[in-house]
Amino acid sequence: MRTLITSKYQTTIPKAIRDAMNLSVRDTIEWKIENGKIVIIPLRKHFLGFRNTVKVGPGDIRADIKSARRIRAERHQ
């Protein structure tokens, strides 16, 4: 497969490679040079492993502030 480098030094990742590597818009890739060759490594989004670990829904901001202040005071004793 071949792609063209544009005047802005951009190129298009061929569809077959995007599909094989499960790449999509806004994904991040890392570029390396190894033994005179360009190596492109997709960086995986590990944050999805934290799904459902944060409580959502109505809260009590005053109680949260009071708790945060108490914890902060305990750390500084």
Supply the DSSP string of 36-55, one letter for each residue. TEEEEEEEP-GGGGGTT-S-
In a domain, 59, yes or no: no
In a domain, 51, yes or no: no
In a domain, 69, yes or no: no
Identify the domain containing residue 42 by its residue range: 1-46
In a domain, 5, yes or no: yes
Span 2-52, pLDDT tens digits: 999 999 999 999 999 999 999 989 889 999 999 999 999 998 777 666 777
In a domain, 38, yes or no: yes
In a domain, 66, yes or no: no
Q: Number of folded domains in the chain?
A: 1
In a domain, 60, yes or no: no
Answering whether pTM is above 0.75, one says no
Q: What share of the chain is helix, strand, coil (3-state, %, to 5)?
A: 35, 20, 45
| Residue 12, domain CATH | 2.10.260
